[in-house]
Amino acid sequence: MTSLVKPYHKQVKILLIAVLMAVAFRSLGISIIDMGLPSFVLSLAGSLTSYGIIIGIFSITQSIFQFPYAFATDRFGRRKIVIIGITIYIIGTFLCFFAQDIFQLIIYRAIQGIGAFTSILQAIIGDIFEKEQHGKGMGYYSLAMNIGYFGGIFIGGYISSYLGFRNIFSISGFLISLIAIFLIIALKDKNNPNVMSSNHERSNMSFNLNNIKILFKNNQFKFSVTLNCVRWFLFGGIVVYLIWVLQVQFLLDEIQTSYILIGIVALYVFFVFFSSRVIDKQGSRKMMIIGQSIVIIFGIPFFIDILIYNIIIFVVLCAIIGIGIALFDPAGNTLLLEIIEDINPELKGSGIGFNNAIGFFFGALAPMIFSVIGEINILAPFYLIIALMILSVIISYKCVNRCY
């Protein structure tokens, strides 16, 4: 693995495995929860709107705590902050298991979201890989995240159906607890070449408003953050809304829903991997435009109601749209890292933290907005997806520098 930072080759290999496993297990737990959550919400006399709030509040608290986490990780090192974040996440997850009404479930999901350690893991990936290999690094990150989500879809339906929907939280908490032990052992700030909290020059570059001002003086950073907000919005809303539609609109059970989602996510993961392999050669801008165009073209049939209410057509179109978003996914992360490196490589923690804070916020809004407009028209969220992709392809084509 020659792309790793060479002076820390052996230690960083172990760290990379630990970080990717943490990313995968976190996504695994999230998708296990997603598969059983509609049944959990309905059992508490909830609705599509309350379902959206329960999904969204998790991301809202993540977005709020991205700033303090980003500040702390740049100043005090990755390891200490990861431990704090994972601990809070685990506590919130187990509390959800005991929720007795919708209000309690919303509060406990908010606590779970406070353990916002995702950006720390992403920053470590950025530390490990050199600039010219960031596409590969972000590809590994996206691949681990999506493989974990795929695994959760596979077992989540069975857990909810056979063990009870409450156990989506207990099992998720147990899995995160296991990987937390491995990650804490593997992660030492001394084996992270870009995290030296004792270094005076490094501490001067800690996360603060001045760093954000530096980044926002660059128009390419603004465009990159905007595109990533669209990507976060889509990722935050489309899958959880699809689960609700399949289970409530098409009356499929959790296991049937998992079979369909397994196929869709399998295609998604494959094309994330494909995209990550060609980004460094083709450029992140080009891959984004291709993915965005696919979503727009195959989103048009959603305006023809009679076709979409056929479940086979509906699933096929959703799968192709997923392919388009998959090509967009690692390209967005890669573009962000490339731009931050060009501005100041010491600002990765701050830049990624800010991007994720804004991204989590838009990801939190997505299920809430999807749920509200979905109550009016079940297909309305898909109209919104097409509109956002048209906007993003215009930004990618007209505004993003062609050298990326």
What's 126's domain CATH number? 1.20.1250.20
Does the residue 325 lie in any domain? yes
User: The domain containing residue 315 runs over which residues?
Assistant: 6-195+214-398
CA geometry: angle at 340 spanning 339 and 342, to 5°? 65
DSSP secondary structure, 238-295, as one string:
HHHHHHHIIIIIS---HHHHHHHHHHHHHHHHHHHHHHHHHHHHH-HHHHHHHHHHHH
Does the residue 133 lie in any domain? yes
Please answer whether residues 95 and 108 qualify as being in contact, where contact means their C-beta atoms are separated by less than 8 angstroms.
yes
pLDDT of 122 reads: 77
Question: How many whole angstroms separate alpha carbon 43 and alpha carbon 165?
Answer: 9
Across 137-156, b (16+ Cβ under 10 Å) vs e yields bbbbbbbbbbbbbbbbbbbb
Question: How many whole angstroms separate alpha carbon 176 and alpha carbon 178?
Answer: 5
N residues, the chain: 404
CA geometry: angle at 139 spanning 289 and 122, to 5°? 110
Does the residue 203 lie in any domain? no
Does the residue 1 lie in any domain? no
Exposed/middle/buried for 86, CB within 10 Å: 0-12, 13-18, 19+? buried
pLDDT of 230 reads: 92
pLDDT of 131 reads: 63
Among 303, 321, 298, residue whose Cα is nearest residue 380 = 303
Q: What's the number of domains the chain is made of?
A: 1
pLDDT average per 10 residues of sequence, the chain (404 residues): 51 85 91 93 93 91 78 78 91 96 96 84 78 71 83 90 93 91 78 42 49 86 91 87 92 93 87 86 89 94 78 93 90 86 80 79 90 91 94 91 74
pLDDT of 149 reads: 82
DSSP state of 4: B
Residues with Cβ within 8 Å of residue 23, at least 6 apart in sequence:
118, 121, 141, 144, 145, 148
77: left (phi over 0), alpha (psi -120 to 50) or beta: left
Exposed/middle/buried for 63, CB within 10 Å: 0-12, 13-18, 19+? buried
Question: How many whole angstroms separate alpha carbon 172 and alpha carbon 31?
Answer: 9
Does the residue 205 lie in any domain? no
Please report, for residues 84, 113, 165, the alpha-carbon distance to residue 42 in angstroms, rounded to integers and kept in the order given: 33, 22, 11
DSSP state of 217: T
Does the residue 85 lie in any domain? yes
Sign of the C-alpha dihedral computed for residues 358, 364, 367 and 373 taken in this order: negative
Does the residue 350 lie in any domain? yes
Q: Indicate yes or no: pTM above 0.85.
A: no
Does the residue 202 lie in any domain? no
pLDDT of 198 reads: 37
Hey, which residues does 129 pair with through a beta bridge?
4
Structure tokens belonging to residue 242: 């699809």
